[in-house]
Structure 1
């Protein structure tokens, strides 16, 4: 797999750099999920070699309601993850931003909750102990991109292709109090978000999503990633300072230049985001 993984990694990086679509890897080769992470590791190493700085991870397909809609021959029914980089993370001052779509392949928007770790969790950390490791949480828009035509792919393709990560736009971080950490899983599970699209002519409510759909709670999604990494020794475990975006609360919606996307939360003291695309 070594030579093949390198070849696929360079194909995917070239497609990303030139905003060019390519057939899913799975269409012409039998690949396991482990092969996908092997390709992802080659992409990580090559990216770092080119000067990129890995600053955290993203979870994909963590929404138990939405994820089975994806996959051609087999529904995607388990989360995947990939690295995010300093160059692909932005902060929206005042929870408002403008984002260029230049070079973004088939972009879609996903409303998520983002955590930053203040301390490194123990390998056997419980969810409560993991919550104690979090410095802040924030609302974020993951701008997912896809190099495969019509967003048709299998799980291994998504893993290989940067986890479909394009850009993460993070709103105002909220430092967690002791009381919030103690109840974080339940607070997030019982919260909801609305996602709306605005154009010059109208504002349309596109979706509502619930924290409980994200593996029961975004905190549980973080714990799931932490546990998975214990078995993927080719990758570093979660460490202090990392940013982790935990998966979309709604389906991923196509975005176009000229649109403004807006979110609002209920059940949690997180402000919504307003991002205009150009």
Structure 2
């Protein structure tokens, strides 16, 4: 079984390097359970490290329990690497589409850790957060037509392509009660002057902090997973349905009820 899972990881890494789609892993002989998917993901992570890629954090996915498919009881996570993360010096950015296939845009709240949370309790998670920022994650499926299972996603990096992170803010900058503020806000997603979506904390376990709590709890059940460390960035899941985007468009995000600056994103070829 180990050889089979290592082979799937090698196939996923080769496909990612070549920028080509990969056939579904979950429909191969033997299938792919979620536990096996995380084993494939660990082998894939070792492959990235061997290529010199530097881990800088984690991304969360499936943070909307109302939309969980049968058998899913927790969000999923995948590593973030330095070469896919852009720390912005302002609230404007330009991205080149390059070879991305059918990319989508996800507005998110990103945390930077002061230290690993001592537990998944809310107080310990809040204490672990050094800074907060708005982020835009670009996701693209390695599978045709965005059709895949949660296990396929975990095994191949959770559809991550890039993450743009606005300038960091201290958590107290969100107001006298950051915990309450992070549970009661909305973000408008605008494309070329037309509103496309409105995001809310409901999509991220009820609050980005609760999404981080879920990650801590999930990692506690995965003894082979790298533990969280000081300085890691955690992007906590999309606040609305991911929006397809294209060359020539200009996107803007605008927060209401939360003292986070929005971002302006321009898309080039």
Q: TM-score, normalised by structure 2?
A: 0.94
Q: Number of aligned pairs? A: 267
1:3 maps onto 2:3 in alignment: yes
Query: 3-state SS of the aligned residue for 2:218?
Result: helix
Aligned residue for 1:221? 211
Instruction: Kindly state the Cα deviation for residue 238 of structure 1 after the two structures are TM-superposed.
Output: 1.4
1:20 maps onto 2:31 in alignment: no
Distance, in Å, in 2 between the alignment partners of 1:21 and 1:179 is 41
Aligned residue for 2:38? 37
Q: Do the aligned residues in 1 keep the contact of 2:74 with 2:218 (CA within 8 Å)?
A: no
Distance, in Å, in 1 between the alignment partners of 2:117 and 2:196 is 37
264-273 vs 230-239, which moves further: 230-239
Q: Structure 2 stretches of 5 or more lacking a match? A: none
Instruction: Kindly state the Cα deviation for residue 76 of structure 1 after the two structures are TM-superposed.
Output: 6.0
Q: Do the aligned residues in 1 keep the contact of 2:59 with 2:237 (CA within 8 Å)?
A: yes
Distance, in Å, in 1 between the alignment partners of 2:115 and 2:46 is 25
Distance, in Å, in 2 between the alignment partners of 1:54 and 1:264 is 29
Q: Do the aligned residues in 2 keep the contact of 1:82 with 1:159 (CA within 8 Å)?
A: yes
Root-mean-square deviation (CA, aligned residues, Å) is 1.8
Question: 1:27-176 to 2 correspondence within 5 Å?
Answer: 27-29=27-29, 30-65=31-66, 67-68=67-68, 78-122=74-118, 124-176=119-171
Query: 3-state SS of the aligned residue for 1:47?
Result: helix
Distance, in Å, in 1 between the alignment partners of 2:116 and 2:72 is 30
Q: Do the aligned residues in 1 keep the contact of 2:203 with 2:238 (CA within 8 Å)?
A: no
Instruction: Kindly state the Cα deviation for residue 218 of structure 1 after the two structures are TM-superposed.
Output: 0.6
Instruction: Kindly state the Cα deviation for residue 77 of structure 1 after the two structures are TM-superposed.
Output: 6.3
Q: TM-score, normalised by structure 1?
A: 0.91
Query: CA 1:12–1:100 in structure 2 vs 1: closer, same or farther (change >3 Å)?
Result: same
Instruction: Kindly state the Cα deviation for residue 184 of structure 1 after the two structures are TM-superposed.
Output: 2.8
Query: CA 1:100–1:178 in structure 2 vs 1: closer, same or farther (change >3 Å)?
Result: closer
Aligned residue for 1:246? 236
229-238 vs 51-60, which moves further: 229-238
Distance, in Å, in 2 between the alignment partners of 1:183 and 1:11 is 47
Aligned residue for 1:190? 184
**Per-residue displacement from partner, 1:2-49 (whole Å, max 9, x unpaired)?**
111111111111211122112211122411101110010001111111
Distance, in Å, in 2 between the alignment partners of 1:242 and 1:165 is 16
Query: CA 1:204–1:162 in structure 2 vs 1: closer, same or farther (change >3 Å)?
Result: same
Q: Structure 1 stretches of 5 or more lacking a match? A: none
Query: 3-state SS of the aligned residue for 2:26?
Result: helix
Aligned residue for 2:198? 208
Aligned residue for 2:172? 177
Query: 3-state SS of the aligned residue for 1:82?
Result: strand
